[in-house]
Structure 1
Amino acid sequence: MLISIIAGARPNFMKIAPIVDAIKRAKDGGRDISYRLIHTGQHYDKKMSGDFFEQLGIPEPDANLEAGGGTQAEQTAAIMVRFENELQENRPDLVLVVGDVTSTMACAITAQKLHIPVAHVEAGIRSGDWTMPEEINRLVTDSITNYFFTTSEVANKNLSDSGISDDRIFFVGNTMIDTLLKQMPNFSKPSFWDEYNLAEKQYLIMTLHRPSNVDDGAQLSDLLNVLEGGSHDLPVIFPVHPRTKNNLEKFGIQLKNVKTVDPLGYLEFNYLVKHAKGVITDSGGITEETTVMGVPCMTLRTSTERPETCDIGTNELLGTDPAALSKALEKLLSNEWKKGGIPPLWDGQTAGRIVDNLCEIFEV
């Protein structure tokens, strides 16, 4: 059995690393299973892709489609054309896609048009917000997927409600947490730790990249002003996404307590998260990591596709109103944040369950 595994953007790499390891273990155990790793090139900056292969021990891709850049439509088209050629030259028994990036959707469509079955890891999650390109990617991918591997009971219900039969839904847990737990002993202190006088639970860390937060100058400025004045002199470390960096310069926003740094590698970033007083973000994946590490998390979005991080974990959905962030900071700094727990099956063993299920499905 040959599986083509798709990685296109930063979150994908964390999700495929344990699957690659699990396939290798199954093969070593006598299973007739192998993989071909395809990097679509959707993210092509070294900090956003190359470092992840190095830090997470992922082997060099068997193919790089180099389909980065352009509009959503241009990128989707480039991935589909190049992946079609890849599949025709190296036809697998299954295409495995992860997450909800453009590569996920584009490769799922291409595989199905060539009558190759598709497995979707992290299937069934929904935000209900169709303004997010990721939500469109999820809906399209799940509408043509054959085998659904899910992270939560909420995702299971979303799929069942859309008419997917139970025998195609496999509740396995979260492969991102497999990577997190495996790599936690390897987390490394970033080079600026001493320069900014950082100390355990005595700083905040923030990521912002969504248009609703960073494309409007007044909104971005108001959010950062809350952190400048409401962090009680705690430094705020802000690894700046390229999109956000351009907007900070365009709007002429000056910062003092908020320390901007270049995008960080996985091991350095999660070192900061683990030891932070709290995290402010508009990302989805980070809310999963903070939940498992027990770190308070404030999400600057009006919806989330990961409600278990709020219902069970340490995350709170604040919306995009800067006043809500101010109140949340007061709660955090008064040590009144909820403790939270860890969702079922987020135990570091998810990839093994995925590969076991695939071996059973394909009888290898």
Structure 2
Amino acid sequence: MAKSSRPLQVLCVVGARPNFMKIAPIMRAINHERLGLSGKLLHTGQHYDAAMKASFFDQLNIPEPDVDLGVGSGSHAVQTAEIMKRFEPVLDELQPDAILVVGDVNSTIACALVAVKKAVPVIHVEAGLRSGDRTMPEEINRVLTDQISDLLFTTEKSAAANLEKEGIATDKIHFVGNVMIDTLRFNLTDAVPSKATIDTLLECGQQSDFSRGYGLVTLHRPANVDDPVVLERLLRVLAEVGTEVPLVFPVHPRTRQRIVDSGLDSLLAGTAFYMVPPLGYLEMLGMMKDARLVLTDSGGIQEETTALGVPCVTLRENTERPITVEQGTNTIAGTDPEKIRASVREILDNGGKSGRIPELWDGRAAERIAEIIRCKLEEQHQ
């Protein structure tokens, strides 16, 4: 096949909040003039509102999407099907040389399925991560996307072992590092100081003594917030932790609704466990950087705390990011109050795990990804 005179085109797909931090450095790297690539951005609209756009797209300097599918919320089946229906005509019109998907949300598997059925190469960034828990929708999305991808970029070496075990050819797999950490390093000097965020969010008369530090909490996994028994168990132990160190809890709207619907908001009244609105990326980065500890069920935050050297307690029974436990600052406590208390006590008394920065988490993963994409696509077009 003769080499085309036009730049090789990569259609990059985002759909939900976890994708935005990953796509920012990838778009910068792909569109660097020296590579001769052309990156377009498609937003499925799986998660979208004006505040989110201001706090993620604008803060991270993500370009305006070339295409916005405007799908919105729905059940997993409805959302996945709607993305596929709306994505197909766009793919037919743009005819990219490849599509690039990140992470494990519904947009990832939906767009990958449409592309592979049309013989458009699929590139998966953050491939091979496995929790071993197939009750998690994200785990299903990860496994299936990897099976139909042509080029798989991994963040840690254990991911390649997972992929090879599942029959993925080794020449498709490339260990490049972590694009989430690219974004963290790129924006660290612009992070909003935690004191400014706390002063803005909390009325002075209600504040605890933040001079002894604070903890940061995030909860959003269905297994934790959809079951009122589990949610109550977690809120009770977190309110107890709040007697030792103030906790700031930027609450996902869905989580807040579950707390209210379950009548559990009264548990937090008069405690040093503060529910606040969701934070922008730079505000969240500043809060994470300065925290004494972070308690979370987010996979991305496990990685970010490891990169920042901040002790993390994961409120899940497993993790698809084992390197954060083996090399980083992460401890798996699950939802057992005794394990959570013990993990917090270790951090408050002894500082917790010091950890180290994993290999290739150096802020240049996106550059490596773009260079490999260029080489592979040029090979295909020769």
Query: What TM-score bracket applies, with the shorter chain setting the length?
Result: over 0.9
Aligned to 2:109: 105
The partner residue of 2:159 within 155, 162, 167 is 155
- How far off is 1:231 after superposition? 3.4
Q: Partners of 1:322 and 1:79 in 2: how far apart? A: 39
- How far off is 1:336 after superposition? 4.4
Aligned to 2:320: 305
Aligned to 2:27: 20
Q: Deviations over 1:85-135 (max 9, x none)?
A: 111111100000000000000000000111100000001111111110000
- How far off is 1:244 after superposition? 1.2
- When the two structures are superposed, what TM-score results if normalisation uses the length of structure 1? 0.96
Aligned to 1:219: 230
User: 1:9, 1:101 within 8 Å by CA — same for their partners in 2?
Assistant: yes
Amino acid at match of 1:128: G
Q: Which moved more, 1:15-24 or 1:331-340?
A: 331-340
Q: 3-state SS of the aligned residue for 2:160?
A: helix
Aligned to 1:205: 216
Amino acid at match of 2:83: I
- How far off is 1:229 after superposition? 2.0
Q: 1:194 to 1:313 in 2, by over 3 A?
A: farther
Q: Deviations over 1:156-190 (max 9, x none)?
A: 11111122222111100000100000000110132
Aligned to 2:294: 279
Q: Partners of 2:260 and 2:55 in 1: how far apart? A: 26
User: 1:5, 1:37 within 8 Å by CA — same for their partners in 2?
Assistant: yes
Q: 1:200 to 1:273 in 2, by over 3 A?
A: farther
User: 2:224, 2:231 within 8 Å by CA — same for their partners in 1?
Assistant: yes
| Pair 1:343-2:358 in alignment | yes
| Pair 1:252-2:263 in alignment | yes
- When the two structures are superposed, what TM-score results if normalisation uses the length of structure 2? 0.91
The partner residue of 1:64 within 54, 65, 68 is 68
User: 1:3, 1:96 within 8 Å by CA — same for their partners in 2?
Assistant: yes
Q: Which moved more, 1:280-289 or 1:192-201?
A: 192-201
Q: Partners of 1:314 and 1:308 in 2: how far apart? A: 9
Aligned to 1:3: 10
Q: Partners of 1:154 and 1:337 in 2: how far apart? A: 24
Unaligned runs of 5+ in 1: none
Q: Which moved more, 1:242-251 or 1:124-133?
A: 242-251
Q: Which moved more, 1:72-81 or 1:315-324?
A: 315-324
Q: Which moved more, 1:323-332 or 1:339-348?
A: 323-332
Q: 1:50 to 1:66 in 2, by over 3 A?
A: farther
Amino acid at match of 2:191: F
State the Cα RMSD in Å: 1.5
Q: 3-state SS of the aligned residue for 1:44?
A: coil
Aligned to 1:262: 277
Q: 1:360 to 1:332 in 2, by over 3 A?
A: same
Q: Partners of 2:185 and 2:366 in 1: how far apart? A: 13
| Pair 1:51-2:55 in alignment | yes
Amino acid at match of 2:162: N
- How far off is 1:68 after superposition? 1.3
Q: Partners of 1:224 and 1:45 in 2: how far apart? A: 28
Amino acid at match of 2:111: C
- How far off is 1:217 after superposition? 2.4
- How far off is 1:2 after superposition? 0.3
Unaligned runs of 5+ in 2: 1-7
Amino acid at match of 1:181: R
Q: 3-state SS of the aligned residue for 1:363?
A: helix
Q: 3-state SS of the aligned residue for 2:92?
A: helix
- How far off is 1:221 after superposition? 2.1
Within 5 Å, which residues of 2 pair with 1:161-180? Answer: 161-180=165-184
Q: Partners of 2:312 and 2:280 in 1: how far apart? A: 20
User: 2:243, 2:272 within 8 Å by CA — same for their partners in 1?
Assistant: no
Amino acid at match of 2:234: L
Within 5 Å, which residues of 2 pair with 1:61-140? Answer: 61-140=65-144
Q: Partners of 2:202 and 2:260 in 1: how far apart? A: 25
Aligned to 2:201: 192
Q: 3-state SS of the aligned residue for 1:92?
A: coil
